[in-house]
A = this chain, B = another copy of it.
Amino acid sequence: MRIGFVGLGKMGAAMAQNLLRAGNELTVYNRSREKAEALAKEGAKTADSPAEVARASEAVFSMMPDDEAAEEITLGNAGIAAGLAKNAVHISSSTISIKESRHLEEEHEKRGSHLIAATVFGRPQAAESKQLVVVTAGRTEAVERCKPLLNAIGRRTFVVGEQPWQANLFKLFGNFMIATTLETFGEAFAGIRKAGADHHEFYEIMSELFGSPVYKNYGKIIADQEFEPAGFELKLGFKDVRLAMEAATEFNAPLPIANVLRDHFLSALAHGQEKLDWSSIGLVSARNSGLNT
């Protein structure tokens, strides 16, 4: 399949590489060219704009950090929408608001192209090793067409609805679930340290009890306070929790635990942690308990 990829950050680059290795003809674009050139060495073509990527492709993935960037590369000058052929598909993997997702879908439909959301769970290593969990939504026909591509980037693909925003909602709520895990480790560790007990031992027990890689990986990072390099920056984690709350607000659903996350992310930002891993939210509980961090 002739496909494209726009947005080659850590996640995007790894996904693009797997798409290439799966035998697709790939055209890529990234604001800073270096990342595109790394893929070019493996056989990808590079383009000068998202529109140029789109003109060369039946389906174009995009992976951008926020609503503004997603809108720009889709609807801006020389954006994906301007280049896509009729009936071609934009596969948005960005973690964006459900409002932005609806907006992008409408704009595509006006132009005769389609949007599907294909959000992904997993850190960069998971992306590299094709272990992402892919959550997709959109017109059934378009999703079906793109299934082989989605299967090429992850270990399992879930189709959750015919409206792209539904996949975005699930991604945001999934990140809310993970962020809660981070926070609850932070709170428990702080209490245990104050008690003079061994929080590493507690981590080992939770790792065994939950039997989950999420607990195993993040629990260790938080216990060791190894927040650099960031697998996922705190400011992005905060953004996701805010978007989950914004979505829930649209439906008049409170998310009380998200309030705690929101406040602790804010306090983390106030203490200069925006570029640390989002699991450094655990430092806030330590500070609030009077511990040295």
Interface residues of A (CB under 8 A from B): 121, 133, 135, 156, 158, 160-161, 166, 169-170, 173-174, 176-178, 180, 183-185, 187-188, 190-192, 194-195, 197-198, 201-202, 204-206, 208-215, 242, 244, 247-260, 262-264, 266-267, 269-272, 284-285, 287-290
Give 29 A-B contacts (CB < 8 Å), ordered by A residue: A133-B208, A158-B205, A160-B197, A160-B198, A160-B201, A166-B195, A169-B197, A170-B202, A170-B205, A174-B205, A177-B209, A178-B209, A187-B253, A187-B254, A187-B257, A191-B251, A195-B251, A209-B214, A210-B210, A210-B212, A242-B249, A248-B266, A253-B266, A254-B285, A254-B289, A255-B263, A259-B259, A263-B288, A288-B288
A191 & B173 in contact (Cβ 8 Å cutoff): yes
A267 & B251 in contact (Cβ 8 Å cutoff): no
A250 vs B197: C-alpha distance in the bound complex, in angstroms? 14
Contacts A121-B209, A204-B158 given: A248-B180 contact, CB under 8 Å? no
Nearest chain B CB to A162's CB is how many angstroms away? 11
B177 & A251 in contact (Cβ 8 Å cutoff): no
Nearest chain B CB to A159's CB is how many angstroms away? 9
Say which residue of B178, B195, B254, B287 sits within 8 Å of A263 (CB atoms): B254
A180 & B184 in contact (Cβ 8 Å cutoff): yes
Given contacts A173-B188, A173-B192, A209-B214, 9 further A-B contacts (CB under 8 A): A156-B208, A160-B198, A177-B209, A210-B210, A210-B212, A211-B213, A251-B289, A256-B260, A263-B288
Residues of chain B lying within 8 A (CB to CB) of residue A254: 187, 262-264, 266-267, 285, 288-289
Residues of chain B lying within 8 A (CB to CB) of residue A161: 197-198
Nearest chain B CB to A61's CB is how many angstroms away? 20
* Count of this chain's copies in the oligomeric assembly: 4
A254 vs B191: C-alpha distance in the bound complex, in angstroms? 8
A185 vs B24: C-alpha distance in the bound complex, in angstroms? 38
Residues of chain B lying within 8 A (CB to CB) of residue A209: 121, 133, 174, 177-178, 214
Residues of chain B lying within 8 A (CB to CB) of residue A251: 191, 194-195, 289
Nearest chain B CB to A112's CB is how many angstroms away? 27
A176 & B184 in contact (Cβ 8 Å cutoff): yes
Contacts A158-B205, A252-B266 given: A257-B169 contact, CB under 8 Å? no
Residues of chain B lying within 8 A (CB to CB) of residue A256: 187, 259-260, 263-264, 285
A191 & B160 in contact (Cβ 8 Å cutoff): no
Nearest chain B CB to A201's CB is how many angstroms away? 5
Residues of chain B lying within 8 A (CB to CB) of residue A257: 180, 183-184, 187, 257, 260
Say which residue of B202, B244, B252, B259 sits within 8 Å of A289 (CB atoms): B252
